[in-house]
Amino acid sequence: MKRIIAAVGAVLGMVLGLLTAVQPAEATTVTRYPGTVAYDTSGNVIQAHGEGIIKVGGTYYWLGEDKTSGSPFQNITCYSSTDFKNWTFVRNVLTRQSSGDLGPNRVVERPHVIYNAATSTYVMYMHIDNSNYSERKAGVATSNSVCGAYTYRGSSKPLGHDSLDDNLFLDGSTAYFMSEDRTNAKLQIYKLSADFLSVSSLVKTLNQYEAPAMAKINGTYYIFGSHLTGWSTNDNQYATTGSLSGTWSSFKSFAPSGTNTCNSQTTAIVPVTGSSTTSYIFLGDRWNSANLSDSRYIWQPLTISGTTPSITCRDSWTIDTTTGITS
């Protein structure tokens, strides 16, 4: 009898093993709901405004401004995710100091990070200012890991120009910094030095837009930006070119007219590459000037038709980071 029971148990074990083997893989498709309160995996409200996202290995890292106590600088935060939905707080990578650029009542905005493969260094640029926005400088910080403690390296005006809203763009191994130049009423695009720690040359001067973001898709460069309307939203614009230093197209809207870019302001364009395709995600901020800590994240799929980008103001959408497909 014991032998019969043992044999039956072995057969059942084999059957269960086969059933387990043919179970479908865990779903990787997740749904995002733009404009709702975003929580991390510990149940805390995500504070990462003016954000940028960088992928390292199979993990996405979201860095942004901590607005818990309003506008003055508090922290630059870093969250991680493998599915573009569930974000885990890792650490504050840059924190307020007792004085200087990162001291009390300072402005530290729009932190963006790129990786320098030659120096094995993550380089962060950010807007550095005083409370009345009259200094208008670009700050630089570095770290050996994307979500590690960053060492602040100081600030300057790139080639003597004002630098307010900013962003970074990595084209192969060449890095570019773009920022709004308030005095000259222009948007400037600069090439960075080989170590990415300073500006080496001015590449192109465009019409004045703030909140810039850049992407390269199928050989075409796209730049996105916002009109200057303070915390209020507007119909953001884009332009294209085949060469950063060459002739750019005129600026046009990419969101439904009159929606004020789905009631948001551009902050970044993030590629999500999977086994089937590469999708591009528009990241925007819906600033709440009365309560900046409750500013919302407006992320939408970016559709490219030829060289025309567009977003629609969806209440929800899905993304599969394994395949790269959005719907």
In this structure, what token pair is assigned to residue 246? 């060459």
Task: Report the alpha-carbon angle 20-26-28, nearest 5.
Answer: 165
Q: What is the mean pLDDT of the chain?
A: 93
Strands 199-207 and 186-192: antiparallel
The full DSSP string for 82-118 is SSSS--EEEEEEEE--SSGGGSTT-EEEEEEEEEETT
Domains of the chain: 42-270 (2.115.10.20)
User: What's residue 28's pLDDT?
Assistant: 74
What span, in angstroms and rounded, lies between the C-alpha atoms of 189 and 168? 10
| pLDDT tens, residue by residue, 81-112 | 999 999 999 999 999 999 999 999 999 999 99
User: What's residue 19's pLDDT?
Assistant: 33
User: What is the reported pTM?
Assistant: 0.91
What is residue 44's DSSP assignment?
P
Give how far the C-alpha of residue 248 lies from the chain's centroid of Cα atoms, to the nearest Å.
Answer: 24
Helix (H, G, I), strand (E, B) or coil at 14: helix
What is residue 17's DSSP assignment?
H
71: region left, alpha or beta (phi > 0 left; psi from -120 to 50 alpha) = alpha
Contact status, residue 168 vs residue 176, Cβ threshold 8 Å = yes
Main-chain dihedrals φ then ψ at residue 134, nearest 5 degrees: -105, -15
User: What's residue 4's pLDDT?
Assistant: 42
User: What's residue 9's pLDDT?
Assistant: 46
What span, in angstroms and rounded, lies between the C-alpha atoms of 50 and 266? 9
User: What's residue 132's pLDDT?
Assistant: 97
Which residues of the chain register pLDDT less than 50?
Answer: 1-27
Contact status, residue 307 vs residue 72, Cβ threshold 8 Å = no
Give how far the C-alpha of residue 34 lies from the chain's centroid of Cα atoms, to the nearest Å.
Answer: 15
Q: Which of 279, 272, 313, 285 is nearest to 81 (CA)?
A: 272
What span, in angstroms and rounded, lies between the C-alpha atoms of 312 and 295? 20
| pLDDT tens, residue by residue, 148-200 | 999 999 999 999 999 999 999 999 999 999 999 999 999 999 999 999 999 99
